[in-house]
């Protein structure tokens, strides 16, 4: 048994799902049931949480129009994550359910109420993936010409989180008394206005809903830039990250843990999960053949470039695939650009796309379930912790086959090695993350 098991999360997109493979029936219906089934499979495999990503636009970053995005259903169309989080929560009882919501676009009071409601529905298993958003296209859907400057977005988010935390605390834990003698549901002396007046936001409070089981949702964050890492290490219960190889993961984790300690937090209260996309086969040859088939898919390069274009607002269709990238800057996701570009490596754009594997893979995991489980154990031992955020490989949609590979092939192989949990022992997501 390893000293400390790993935590597992799953990164999912609420998209149409697999629709064009020979085994697909045209895409999962938009009723979300495919993802409910998926969450139940992840719960049987004892994942800590399922994380639903979100952005708020149909991108035109690649090639100057939406053709590639809509043709391949890349990043759009997608549904709102919050209702899906609610139905997943209602159909599960142990797994954490995390939804992405942006501090740049949600009014804080509405976000605080929505997240609190979801935490009540999930009986303490809801998490908020705190993002600041990275695309001008989203800003233009909300009446702005372009996004606020990158670091300023984090300053605003900092005040935003302070405000929503005050709203969540506006109900004391024992405010609901349900006293039949005095015919009183809630004690008004224990529900407080907050009179928040900051630099960017004002809100009177109190929240008009009860305190949720966790008090505040579990916080997930993915800051990659120095400013983003500072923000993440101040608030997050779990940081989700991309990095290049063991060295990259180790230095990222060491950095955010040091930042957390410097801000008076116990670094062990933050679980850093790195994005990976294992590719499995019943034999090693079969796994590598699958990897190769994904890379040789005629759409692979275009879809990969469209994805990185979307999150950075840089049009990657303009660059030569067989030359190194020029120096680039973004007001969007800086950490994601740095991870993709591997500055100074001299690699061609084509090689960068292959390295990323279509998903920002942090380390290559290809082989039989036992081989990959072994490599996961070695990797985590070298990095120091804390676990992985799994997502589908290449640019394909998640499929039942892939969910089965992970939940019925890889996870049992990890469990046999004592590397992941075999049961849940806690009831809230924050407690589950802090169990080890
Ligand atoms: C695994 C992972 C998932 C992310 N999910 C989202 C998301 O759903 N929506 C979003 O707007 N940004 C998402 N991001 C982007 C982050 O919020 C952040 O902008 C990015 O990691 C770059 O950090 P930086 O802005 O500090 O450079 C994600 C990033 C990572 C690594």
pTM score, whole prediction: 0.96
Pocket flag, ligand 1, residue 223 (CB < 6 Å)? yes
Alpha carbon nearest to ligand 1 atom 25, residue: 333
Question: What local confidence, expressed as pLDDT, does residue 423 receive?
Answer: 97
**Distance in Å from the first CA to the final CA of the chain:** 13
Residue 129 CA: distances (Å) to CA of 55, 102, 407: 12, 8, 23
Which portions of the chain are predicted below pLDDT 70? 1-3, 358
Q: 110 near 208, Cβ under 8 Å?
A: no
- Rounded to the nearest whole angstrom, what is the distance from the C-alpha of residue 332 to the centroid of ligand 1? 9
* Cα maximum dimension of the chain: 78
- Rounded to the nearest whole angstrom, what is the distance from the C-alpha of residue 336 to the centroid of ligand 1? 7
State the DSSP code for 410: I
- Rounded to the nearest whole angstrom, what is the distance from the C-alpha of residue 136 to the centroid of ligand 1? 15
Q: What token pair was written down for 85?
A: 């989080």
Pocket flag, ligand 1, residue 333 (CB < 6 Å)? yes
- Rounded to the nearest whole angstrom, what is the distance from the C-alpha of residue 240 to the centroid of ligand 1? 8
Q: Report the distance separating Cα 221 and Cα 399, nearest Å.
A: 26
Ligand 1: which atom is nearest the Cα of residue 138? 11
State the DSSP code for 409: I
- Rounded to the nearest whole angstrom, what is the distance from the C-alpha of residue 308 to the centroid of ligand 1? 12
Alpha carbon nearest to ligand 1 atom 22, residue: 333
Pocket flag, ligand 1, residue 104 (CB < 6 Å)? no
Question: What local confidence, expressed as pLDDT, does residue 24 receive?
Answer: 78
Question: What local confidence, expressed as pLDDT, does residue 17 receive?
Answer: 82
- Rounded to the nearest whole angstrom, what is the distance from the C-alpha of residue 176 to the centroid of ligand 1? 37
Pocket flag, ligand 1, residue 275 (CB < 6 Å)? yes
Alpha carbon nearest to ligand 1 atom 29, residue: 222
Question: What local confidence, expressed as pLDDT, does residue 3 receive?
Answer: 64
Choose which residue among 56, 131, 158, 234 to substitute to test ligand 1 binding: the one with the highest number of ligand atoms within 8 A of its C-beta: 131
């Amino acid at each position: 048994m390893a000293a400390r098991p790993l935590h597992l999360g799953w990164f999912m997109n609420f998209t149409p799902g697999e629709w064009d493979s020979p085994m697909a029936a045209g895409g999962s219906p938009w009723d979300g049931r495919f993802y409910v089934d998926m969450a139940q499979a992840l719960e049987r495999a004892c994942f800590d949480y399922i994380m639903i990503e979100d952005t708020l636009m149909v991108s035109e970053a690649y090639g100057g129009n939406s053709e590639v995005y809509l043709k391949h259903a890349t990043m759009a169309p997608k549904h709102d994550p919050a209702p899906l989080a609610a139905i997943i929560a209602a159909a599960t009882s142990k797994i954490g359910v995390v939804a992405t919501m942006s501090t740049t676009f949600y009014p804080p009071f509405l976000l605080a109420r929505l997240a609190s409601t979801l935490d009540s529905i999930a009986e303490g298993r809801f998490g908020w993936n705190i993002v600041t958003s990275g695309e001008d296209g989203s800003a233009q859907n909300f009446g702005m010409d372009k996004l606020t400057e990158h670091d300023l977005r984090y300053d605003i988010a900092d005040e935003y989180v302070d405000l929503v935390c005050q709203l969540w605390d506006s109900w004391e834990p024992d405010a609901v008394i349900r006293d039949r003698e005095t015919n009183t549901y809630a004690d008004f002396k224990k529900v407080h206005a907050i009179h928040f007046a900051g630099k960017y936001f004002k809100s009177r409070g109190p929240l008009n809903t009860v305190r949720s089981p966790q008090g505040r949702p579990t916080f997930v964050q993915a800051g990659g830039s120095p400013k983003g890492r500072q923000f993440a290490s101040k608030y997050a219960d779990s940081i989700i990250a991309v990095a290049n190889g063991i060295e990259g993961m180790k230095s990222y984790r060491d950095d955010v843990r040091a930042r957390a300690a410097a801000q008076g937090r116990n670094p062990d209260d933050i679980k850093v999960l790195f994005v990976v996309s294992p590719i499995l086969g019943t034999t090693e040859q079969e796994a590598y053949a699958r990897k190769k088939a994904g890379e040789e898919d005629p759409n692979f390069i275009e879809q990969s470039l469209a994805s990185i274009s979307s999150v950075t607002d840089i049009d990657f269709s303009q660059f030569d695939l067989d030359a190194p990238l020029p120096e680039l800057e973004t007001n969007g996701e800086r950490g994601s650009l740095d991870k993709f570009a591997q500055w100074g490596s001299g690699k061609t754009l084509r090689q960068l796309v292959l390295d990323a594997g279509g998903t920002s893979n942090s380390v290559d995991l290809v082989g039989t379930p036992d081989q990959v489980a072994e490599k996961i154990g070695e990797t985590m031992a070298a990095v120091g912790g804390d676990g992985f955020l799994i997502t589908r490989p290449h640019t394909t949609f998640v499929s039942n086959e892939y969910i089965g590979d992970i939940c019925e092939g890889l996870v049992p192989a990890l469990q046999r090695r004592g590397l992941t949990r075999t049961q849940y022992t806690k009831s809230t997501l924050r407690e589950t993350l802090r169990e080890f």
